[in-house]
Structure 1
Amino acid sequence: MAQRTLARYLIEEQRNKGVITADLKFLIEVVSRACQAISIAIGKGGLGGVLGEAGSANVQGEAQKKLDVLSNEILLDANEWGGHLAAMASEEMDLPHTIPHRYPQGEYLLLFDPLDGSSNIDVDVSIGTIFSVLKCPEGADLSTPEASEAAFLQPGTAQVAAGYAVYGPTTVLVLSVGDGVTCFTLDREQGGFVLTQEAMRIPADTAEFAINMANQRHWEAPVQRYVAEMQQGKDGALGKDYNMRWVGSMVADVHRIMTRGGIFMYPLDAKTRDKGGKLRLMYEANPMAFLIEQAGGAASTGRQRILDIEPDRLHQRVPVILGSKNEVARVVGYHG
């Protein structure tokens, strides 16, 4: 039987199920090709001269790696000419990128974190790309990058697609168009993504957690309580032993949860309180929450469902607690 490529899967979602439009199909294919190009650049590493600092900072004031800048450029260049987008927004840019007038405009908005986990680049640990797709509101003002920001300020429930690529021992693309979660693996010889897992599901219970323990002294009481109970093991309140895993790259940690269950937490703490949290709502929390819920998990700030948040700015930050449904519910209950 012929392999089910990403292109074939998207055609089936469009033609047989009516889940997506032809333009959305094309948009996802273009994003996937950009991810292939990023994967190739990462694979060259030091041979391609792409490691190290770029000598610049992004809008959050974080030092950019050369691959951060390159990945951002790859995604912009790949997507601006196709006629399926009205505008793009990136974690690496202060303002949205409007489509040049020489190209036709489409009905979708694309948001992305071009290279998540930048601190892992130079030590050859898994990193990734996260993306989210929204419909552009009718009559939105796209005349300038400043004016176009308002079009993006939609809750996560409005997403029509989201996904991430993990650049690890293999390159995988995990995607949802609102019809469950599907995983594709890059076949480097054939030069395309091939379907390797359908209907991904996250177990409701887990014995594995991911959190940056270096911040423990800054956590709020509910998270302190939950982590302490997990560390007590089977003799404690939760009655089982837990393992901790922490890659420091959200895509890698979330992909592990998507594959075998677990809970990921970057909670509100004393260090991030004045910013609202650590992770970006539009580029990280919303797309990951969409995928996690489509796979049967849950995603919360501890006080609110992430997908229900009404954003007030493009680079808004939020606390993130996501993964196995029963574990997330326990942490949310402790916050209550």
Structure 2
Amino acid sequence: MSDAVTEVVETVARAAPEVRGGLSGRRRKTDAENASGETQLAADVWADELLAERLTAIDGVSQFASEEREDVLECGESGGYAVTVDPLDGSSNLKSNNSMGTVLGVYDAELPAKGSHLVAAAYVLYGPITTMVVARDGEVTEYVVEETDEGTAERRAVREDVTLPDDPTVYGFGGRVPDWTDRFADYARDVEDELKLRYGGAMIGDVNQVLTYGGVFAYPELESRPEGKLRLQFEGNPIAYVVESAGGASSNGEESLLDAEADEVHQRTPVYVGNEELIERLESRF
């Protein structure tokens, strides 16, 4: 069964150059909305369909769920792995040609599942170059993903045993500042005095800054949305798994995201990830 986990990760890696190459002609909005009520771009729909077709064909995968579709797809024999994807995290950045990515989670449990059931998580970052960060068995590796002359994808490790730097440098906080709760605004003011702002509007790009330089990323609770904006199954859990595997910490304001109960597939959550001291300091304010 563990071979299925490897195949899932490699399937997403092989698809990355194709996804990136297909973005330029798919920047228009569609008339459809995803399961969270957000207007879909043509690129969202296309990337979702491409990944669904390839991941559901893997032996050992029994469920597939995507941020872009309402229902969980049942595939293969029961008792296999459940795979979740955010096919294009930050797709609103496509119009302005800024970074975006793909987020992957592999759960050894039926969905919805707690993050503690993850056996692997990864994200692809479509930046100036295409990279992939994979967390598995307590280790994090960063790869460069390149298309070969034969038209296939090659995944080459560039950083192994990735850990967050001890001396944090950057922070990135989502949501409109007037909509922040008082307790998060107090925390943010402290952090602003210590770290440099790095926020690009795509979670993957912002989290990758934290993983590279140390610091904290948050899409916090809001006055208008106490439950947060990001989805636990597709974004919160996989990113928490990567960051915690790299020696950092995650929180929903009360506990590790990996310990949070999962009640529904499209459940939302506040997300706070980064260096352990910064997350502990946040939780002490809440």
Distance in 1 (alpha carbons) for counterparts of 2:96 and 2:203: 16
Aligned match for 2:158, one of 182, 196, 202: 196
| Aligned residue in 2 for 1:291 | 242
Does the 8 A contact of 1:202 with 1:261 survive in 2? Answer: yes
Distance in 1 (alpha carbons) for counterparts of 2:79 and 2:116: 21
Distance in 2 (alpha carbons) for counterparts of 1:110 and 1:35: 17
CA drift of 1:52 comes to 1.3
Identity of aligned residues (%): 30
Does the 8 A contact of 1:205 with 1:325 survive in 2? Answer: no
CA drift of 1:205 comes to 4.1
Distance in 2 (alpha carbons) for counterparts of 1:172 and 1:162: 14
Equivalent pairs counted in the alignment come to 283
1:169 to 1:207, Cα distance in 2 relative to 1, 3 A: closer
Q: Describe the SS at the equivalent of 1:226.
A: helix
Name the amino acid aligned to 2:160: E
1:179 to 1:305, Cα distance in 2 relative to 1, 3 A: closer
Name the amino acid aligned to 1:225: D
Distance in 2 (alpha carbons) for counterparts of 1:301 and 1:205: 23
Higher-strand-fraction structure: 2
CA drift of 1:245 comes to 1.2
| Aligned residue in 1 for 2:103 | 130
Q: In the TM superposition, what are the counterparts of 1:22-61 in structure 2 within 5 Å?
A: 22-42=3-23, 45=24, 49-61=25-37
CA drift of 1:192 comes to 1.1
| Aligned residue in 1 for 2:181 | 220
Does the 8 A contact of 1:37 with 1:74 survive in 2? Answer: no
CA drift of 1:265 comes to 1.0
1:98 to 1:30, Cα distance in 2 relative to 1, 3 A: same
CA drift of 1:178 comes to 2.1
Q: Describe the SS at the equivalent of 1:269.
A: coil
1:85 to 1:111, Cα distance in 2 relative to 1, 3 A: same
| Aligned residue in 1 for 2:265 | 314
Aligned match for 2:64, one of 84, 88, 92: 88
CA drift of 1:21 comes to 1.8
Please report the RMSD computed on the Cα atoms of aligned residues, expressed in angstroms. Answer: 1.7
Please give the TM-score of this superposition, normalised by the length of structure 1: 0.80
Does the 8 A contact of 2:28 with 2:42 survive in 1? Answer: yes
CA drift of 1:207 comes to 3.5
Q: Describe the SS at the equivalent of 1:69.
A: helix
Q: Give the gaps of 5 or more residues in structure 1.
A: 1-19, 137-150, 234-240
Aligned match for 1:272, one of 203, 206, 225: 225
Deviations 1:262-301 (A, max 9, x none): 100111111212xx11110000000000000000111001
Please give the TM-score of this superposition, normalised by the length of structure 2: 0.94
1:230 to 1:23, Cα distance in 2 relative to 1, 3 A: closer
Q: In the TM superposition, what are the counterparts of 1:319-330 in structure 2 within 5 Å?
A: 319-330=270-281
CA drift of 1:106 comes to 6.9
| 2:143 is equivalent to residue 184 of structure 1 | yes
Q: Describe the SS at the equivalent of 2:58.
A: coil
